[in-house]
Structure formats: structure tokens, C-alpha cells
Amino acid sequence: MPLTPEQAAEIADARRTQHSTRRPTVPELEEILFEPLPVLDHGFVRVIDYMGDDSAVVQAARVSYGRGTRRLRDDSGLIRYLMRHRHTTPFEMCEIKYHVKLPIFVARQWIRHRTANVNEYSARYSVLDREFYLPAPEQLAAQSSQNRQGRGEILEGAEAARVLEILKGDAVRAFDHYDEMLNEDGRTASRDPARKGLARELARMNLPLSTYTQWYWKTDLHNLLNFLSLRADPHAQYEIRAYAEAMIDTVRRWVPVSYQAFRDYRLGGATLSAQALDVVRRRLRGESVTAEQSGMSGREWRELCTLLDAEAGSGEENAT
């Protein structure tokens, strides 16, 4: 994430400027406003702007004339009630905008969240920076043997070295060839005046999915929390999870009460099916329930046992 001196100066400039406003303002978020929070080897997340705070959620839920807040405890209770009962619309009243630098294969997962506004750097119009993602050694993992969609053991020794050699070598060559095909001034030491150069919109197709792109991305708090609960989940690919985790920290600064409710009711919670609820109720009444009696598939049963605690799960097995 090496900024050019010009970029660093632009950011410093923006951070120095202070305005006076009547709008709700969150000092803890202002503190990091515009600053690049590093993610992966060359990426970042920057908070560019925001609208509203915890009290904006309360204000909209109450459709009030002023800030709508009462005692801190009442406001917090209302926000937790809204989160618990999935009354989601008041959380849409807060908005945040990020500038993100991220590998294209991460961008392709990210863009699936449709309720957001996006402006991406155009590789038809401009030339892409020579930056690509190379996993850290501890991220070079084999395909999981249990989960068709995840990672298993870490690669080591010669195998790891060979993978890095391939990833790096192919990316470097692709960028060299990108520059050669573009044949533009300022990109290569030796522009060949005899060649026309290939159109940017075509030349970029040679670049790997590990190439970094950037975008402005803006969404409301409700949709942001949805994004985060899916992308900070252990089942999400590590690379997008790294972004989600950096962003969760910006939510904590921005709307601390909503953030805590989100942790309690979404990130830390779990949904039980009708069958799972029945198992829990019966076990709480002292019955023992086997997988067969539960009416659940083997996979669901194992998921439930894991959720309710490994000990409880194995205790159950002893009991049956």
C-alpha cells in the first residue's frame, strides 16, 4: 500500500481541513477519516464520508422532530430491540462511503452485494497500476478435504515456494506484456514509435485476477451489516474477510451501540430450525435425543452439536 507522494499529500490536505456543521458528527470516526487502513499486501480501506450516528437510528424509528434521543439507556434499548426483531429500516438511515483498493477476484465477490453505490477505476479509460496480490506464506493453503469451498492445510517447503514462484512470475510477465502491448509513454522505458499500441480496454484482459483495482463504495448501515455478517464469517474466503474485519472496526467507531447489538444478535447469534429447537427443548426437559430421533440430516445434526458445544454433543452421545 505505498501511496505516491502526491496521494499522501492529497490525503493530508483533506485531513487538515475542518468545517463547521449542524449535522450529527462522530469524533471517533473523524479521527481516522480519509486515512488508509492497510489490508492484505497492497490494499486498503478508507472512510471517505458518513451520514448519521446511533441517534439517527433512534430518530428515524421515532420519526421525531429533533435528535429524538432520550436517556442513553432508552436509546440503547430501542436499538437493541430493533436489531433483535429485525426491524431493519431505521438502520438504513445511516450511510457510509469507503475508498477501497482490492484484488479483482475479491472485487468480484464484493460486487454481488447489490444494494450499494459503486464507482470503480476504469481500465478502459486509464492504465492500471502495476500491483497484484501475492498471498502471505501462512495463507498458501491446500483445498479443504471437508469443505468443497474452503482451505485446508498450509502448503510448505518446495510446494509453497513453487506456487509463489508461479503466481509472481506469471503476474510480472502479464504486467510486462500489458505495458508492451499498450506501448504508451511513461509506462515503459522504451516506447516504440513504430507501433500503434493496443487499446487499453483490450490490453487489460491479459492481466490476472490478482491485479488490484480500486473503487468508491457507499452503502447504508443495514446493508453494511449484512455485508459484514456474510463476509466476516469464517466460511468467507480469507482475502475478503480481511477487508470485512478492517471495516467492522470502522463500524465500532461510528455507531458503538448498533455495533454491540450487531455483535450480540448477529455475529454471535445463531438460527435454530424447527427441528433443532425441538431437540433443545426436549433436552432441556431432560430427555435424551439421538440423531435419528431428531428428524435432522447427519450434517445438520453435527452442525447443531458443534453449536451447542462439543462437550454437550459428546455427552449426548454417551447418553444414547
CA distance 38 to 44: 4
CB 207, min distance to a second copy, A: 6
Q: Dihedrals φ, ψ of 112, to 5°? A: -65, -20
The residues, ordered by sequence, that sit 6+ positions from 92 with a Cβ below 8 Å of its Cβ are 220, 221, 222, 223
Q: Which of 99, 225, 247, 259: binder of a second copy (CB under 8 A)?
A: 99
Cβ pair 256, 78 in contact under 8 A: no
Query: Does position 20 bind a second copy by CB under 8 A?
Result: yes
97 is written with which cell numbers?
A: 462511503
Place of cell 510477465: 173
Between 51 and 232, name the residue whose CB sits nearer to a second copy: 51
Q: Give 86's contacts (C-beta < 8 A, 6+ positions apart).
A: none
Q: Which of 202, 292, 302, 320 binds a second copy (CB under 8 A)?
A: 202
The yes or no reply on residue 142 touching a second copy (CB under 8 A) is yes
Residue 273 is a binding residue for a second copy (CB under 8 A): yes
Q: Are 249 and 138 in contact (CB under 8 A)?
A: no
- Nearest approach in angstroms of CB 223 to a second copy is 10
Looking at beta carbons only, is 72 or 199 nearer to a second copy? Answer: 199
Nearer CB in complex with a second copy: 78/246 = 78
Nearest-angstrom CA–CA distance, 78 and 72 = 10
Task: Please give the residues from 110 up to 139 whose contact with a second copy meets the rule CB under 8 A.
Answer: 111-112, 114-115, 117-122, 124-125, 133, 135, 139
Q: Which residues are catalytic?
A: 231
Among 38, 70, 177, 302, binds a second copy (CB under 8 A): 177
Number of other CB atoms surrounding residue 211 within 10 Å: 23
Q: How far from the centroid of its chain's Cα atoms is residue 211's Cα?
A: 18
Site string for a second copy, 246-265 (x = CB under 8 A): -----------------xxx
Residue labelled with grid coordinates 429447537? 277
CA angle, corner 238, sides to 44 and 178, nearest 5?
A: 60
| Residues of this chain, 276-315, that bind a second copy according to CB under 8 A | 276-277, 280-281, 283-285, 297, 299-300, 307-309, 311-312, 315
Interface with a second copy includes 159 (CB under 8 A)? yes
| Contact stretch for a second copy (CB under 8 A) within 198-206, 241-249, 251-259 | 198-206
Give the footprint of a second copy on residues 216-235 (CB under 8 A).
Answer: 216, 218, 220
The one among 2, 66, 186, 234 contacting a second copy by CB under 8 A: 66
Beta bridge partners of 215: 100, 120
